[in-house]
Homo-oligomer: A and B are copies of this chain.
Amino acid sequence: MAKKGQYIYEYPHPAVTADCVVFGYDGKEIRVLLIKRGKEKEASTSAYAGEWALPGGFLDVERDLTVAHTAIRELREETLLRLSVKDLKEVGTYSEIGRDPRERVITVAHYALVKLAEVHSDTDAEKAEWYSLSDIPSLAFDHDRILRDTLSRLKRDIHFEPIGFELLPEVFTLPQLQNLYESILEVKFDRRNFANKMKHYGILSEVDDGTPRHGTRTPLKYRFDKDNYDRLKAKGFQLEF
């Protein structure tokens, strides 16, 4: 962060922060990465000390190229998770007077999808934790609202974006994919129709891992066909459900 000192303006300026809702999928349900705010009395930074919050922090006016950069920097510092700006989607701005008790703070909320299995071990640093959606504690500031809004956004985006790509491991099964959609949208699909539709899009390629497969009890493995997906997306499509 820029060094502490005296910064003088002719008119009052707000502080700006970036927050990030990081979603992961543990194979069963969607989880969200939360951090525990430091209890230490660090002067003015102790608002909502000890409470859970979305990862995020103050814009470094002199160094952060955009607020998205703020978000990834804070994410790295607070949770050791290394994302890049293109992994983030902007959700919206929260600017109500009084949303931060210290001073006027405007935050820009983002969200990101990560392959939980692959980052899991990196992120137990410090005080970050993956919470199941059904189990979210009450959050600092207006972060409850931000999380709710972001969830609706995710539900909408899932129709247009390859959510599966980003939340599932490289190789996955159809039941996993279906379960992912079902848990985000909170609905149930017919197995056969789901498979038909997915195969029809032509964005899945079967992975032959050698195992002979006698029965059908063990699901087939697939991988996303990124090329086909990109081609499809370019022509403007949507995954219907």
Contact = CB atoms under 8 A, between A and B. Distances in A.
Nearest to A96: B66
A106 B95 CA distance: 13
A196 to B, nearest CB: 21
Interface in A130-173: none
A108 B58 CA distance: 17
A76 interface: no
Contacts of A4: 10-11
Size bracket, chain A contacts: 20 to 34
Given A7-B13, A11-B15, A11-B58, 19 more contacts: A2-B11, A4-B11, A5-B10, A6-B8, A7-B8, A7-B10, A7-B11, A7-B12, A9-B13, A13-B15, A13-B61, A14-B14, A16-B106, A61-B104, A64-B97, A66-B95, A67-B95, A68-B95, A93-B93
